[in-house]
Amino acid sequence: MKIEVFLRQCFLSPNASLPNRHRPKWFDKVEIFRNLKSTIDPKVANLNIVYDEHFGPIGDTFLDSEENVEIINCGNEAGSFLATLDIIESRNYDDDTIIYFLEDDYLHKEGWCDVLLEAFNLPIQYVSLYDHLDKYIDSGYNDLVSKIFVTDTCHWRTTPSTCNTYAGRMGQFRQDMHIHRHFSAASPDGISMDHAKFVELGRNGRTLVTSIPGYSTHVDHLQSPTVDWEFVQLKT
């Protein structure tokens, strides 16, 4: 199996200043991108960059010398996700190809590519490497019940939803494309309705798992627990 990573990058996106985006003081998109480049395993994963130039040309950013870049002009998260779906559908990937949708504010631990591949030996359809902190501290999840799996490297838990950074096989995306599109196209504010999307996928018999501990984190106030992510950023 091969992983095709689709990194959606918008250097000046207003999403960075949303009320629910409380960033740590060490948050730095350049360093996060450097972390991705240093931890991705080119033997099993290809990096594709989707750059939204709505807020400025790529030549003004740290991406100006990068290869495999698709330029879009959307101006919001939902639009950029839909444009990324268009790009993926235009390519003739095999059904077994793993598509990893990645937003531009996620750090990764070394070895994440192999861990992601391990997950697809489980009886699941979708995977995230982000171990959501809210599932442990939010009272709304007090009664959450998860099934636990184990692979060679780590444990996995079923979870009702994740953010718009996740992976699945291309064949599965083809089956579920109407759902993935709907919860971005129907957004009233330009931000994909991630939770509702995965709830709907669950209603359709799809299983989502996240790694325990996280091999990735959203760099906000709900980082994957038990990992010093500032140190991860510094050392990679």
Tally of structural domains, the chain: 1
Element (H, E) at 212: strand 208-212
* Domain around 135: 3-235
Tens of pLDDT, residue by residue over 176-196, are 999 999 999 999 999 999 999
How many Å from the N-terminal Cα to the C-terminal Cα in the chain? 25
Q: Helix and strand tally (H, E) in the chain?
A: 7, 11
Give the CATH number for residue 208: 3.90.550.10
- The CA distance from 151 to 23, in Å, is 32
What pTM was computed for the model? 0.95
Tens of pLDDT, residue by residue over 86-106, are 999 999 999 999 999 999 999
Rounded to 10 degrees, what is the CA torsion of 229, 232, 234, 236? -150
- Among 160, 162, 165, 164, smallest CA distance to 141 is for 160
- The CA distance from 37 to 105, in Å, is 13
